Amino acid sequence: MFDTLSDKLQATLSGLGRSGRLDEEAVSKAMREIRLALLEADVNFEVAQEFTASVKERALGQDVLRSLTPGQQVVKIVHDELTTLMGSGDSRLAFGRPPTVILLAGLQGSGKTTAAAKLALLLRREGKRPGLVACDLQRPAAVDQLEQLGRQVQMPVFALDRKDPVNAARLGLDAARREGLDVVILDTAGRLHVDEELMAELEEVAKATKPTNVLLVLDAMTGQEAVNVATSFQQRVAFDGVILTKLDGDARGGAALSVKAVTGRPVKLASVGERLDQLEYFHPDRMASRILGMGDVLTLIEKAESAVAEDEQAEMEKRIRAGEFTFDDYLASYRMLRRMGSFQSVLKLMPGGLGKQLQGVDLDERQLARAEAIVLSMTPQERRMPHLISTPRRRRIAAGSGTSLEEVNRLMAARKQMAKMMKQVSKGKMPTMPGMPPPGRR
């Protein structure tokens, strides 16, 4: 997401950073390039104009012109303005007296039903007890899809009336209340376009259930059209915020950058992958950092914390302190990384250009899967005590995993190197990588 815009903004701003001083001509030229980059990213024209005008005004201020690092100052201004553009401040969901009702609205094809299941899973991870109510009685198989998704995430789905959406919503809410659920997510009907019938139905469902949050689900891939849809909905339905779906597949990002400025309503959540656990709260400041190539350390930490259980974390920390790294540890760390998402998506969160550099490295995840197969072909004793693995055992492991003896030997050597690094860490020393001089030497 935002790859095209990110590359162009970083190239433009790095050019400013190389200048010893800034003048109006240099800033104006940079703003023209930024405005073009925003328009190519399908950002609303007026939004792009206002954004660059605001950045230019601040960049030509005396504090920047007198600064020793004017280029860096402009980068900070662009970061601040991007954050404001996408909606600075807290955009978390509101929760009241249970059950809190969350109504999802949107057009057909925006990913609304899948977003409902993703949101339910996210809220359950936060300690809530959510349930799903099927109110989309227009689209064929919409109720069946929601029930199937509910089974996948082990979430109750209430489909108690297949003819009247208002009654379905009312009955579902009553059933959720009886079961002691504290959040109810309503999956309402969509259309191929905004029409009177859709709006009237939404208004009736909202009147019957009194939702605490009304969230508009928009497909980020539709770009500027998503903002037009949001404007049309806003004229009839007062929504509180936006869920952007398919943001991972949109290299431009125009919808995310425009919707707050045009509607005044923030993006609250974003879908960043196809898996049901890939829905995240939208943090404008973090997204601005990602766009400008600064990484996103906070999200990286949150992903790591959610990927590893507390007892696993404590056990691994204890082993690192002891300077140990067995194949069981390798397996646990690999699976933890896999739960965080694809390696390329994790690399994009790394700061200081490190992620950008590593993205050029050929990280074939199939090779990592082959390494996992090698470890799983070992006996529990061999995984705990790697020194027992003799050459005949290595041949047996290679045959059992469908790999070669050479691949097994490479993995053995990599584990040995990792164990050596762990020992250095346990003694409070800076670990050295192969081919690099020890700290302090040149």
pLDDT tens-digit readout, 164-184: 999 999 999 999 999 999 999
Residue 295 host element (H or E):
none
Q: Is 189's pLDDT higher than 70?
A: yes
User: According to the model, what pLDDT value does residue 160 have?
Assistant: 87
pLDDT for residue 264 = 87
pLDDT in tens, 268-311: 998 888 889 889 888 888 788 777 766 545 555 555 555 555 55
Give residue 64's pLDDT.
62
pLDDT at 397: 93
Amino acid identity, position 191: R
Q: What are phi and psi of 244, to 5 degrees?
A: -95, 120
Is the confidence at residue 428, as pLDDT, over 70? no
Before 140, cis peptide (omega within 30)?
no
Which one has a higher pLDDT value, 26 or 99?
Answer: 99
| Residue 322 binned pLDDT confidence (cut-offs 50, 70, 90) | low
**379-401 mean pLDDT:** 91
- For the record, the structure tokens of 25 come out as 């001509």
SS3 370: helix
pLDDT score, position 67 = 58
Q: 265: burial class by Cβ within 10 Å (0-12, 13-18, 19+)?
A: buried
Asked if residue 129 lies in contact with residue 135, where contact means CB atoms within 8 angstroms, the answer is no
Q: Supply the CATH classification number for the domain 100-287.
A: 3.40.50.300
Q: Which CATH architecture has domain 3-86?
A: Up-down Bundle (1.20)
Range(s) of the chain covered by CATH 3.40.50.300: 100-287
**Bridge partner residues of 216 (DSSP):** 105, 242
CATH 1.10.8.60 fits 300-426, yes or no: no
According to CATH, where is 1.10.260.30 located in the chain? Answer: 300-426
Confidence band (pLDDT; 50, 70, 90) for 420? confident
- The answer, yes or no, to whether residue 124 has pLDDT greater than 80, is yes
E strand or H helix at 364, and its extent?
none
The Cα–Cα gap between 180 and 291 comes to: 42
Distance in angstroms (rounded) separating the CA atoms of residues 369 and 360: 20
Lowest mean pLDDT among 112-126, 319-333, 350-364: 350-364
pLDDT, mean over the chain = 80
Token pair 């059950």 in the structure block, residue: 99
Give residue 158's pLDDT. Answer: 94
pLDDT winner (highest mean) among 164-168, 248-252, 324-328, 356-360: 164-168
- Residue 154's CB is within 10 A of a number of other CB atoms, namely 9
What single-letter amino acid sits at 18? Answer: R
Strand order in the sheet with 130-135: 157-158, 130-135, 183-188, 100-105, 213-219, 241-245, 267-271, 279-281
CA–chain centroid gap for 52, Å, is: 27
Rounded Cα distance, 419 and 423, in Å: 6
Instruction: Determine how many CB atoms are found less than 10 A away from the CB of residue 302.
Output: 17
Instruction: Spell 29-46 as b/e; 16+ CB within 10 A means b.
Output: ebbebbbebbbebbbbee
CATH 1.20.120.140 placement within the chain: 3-86
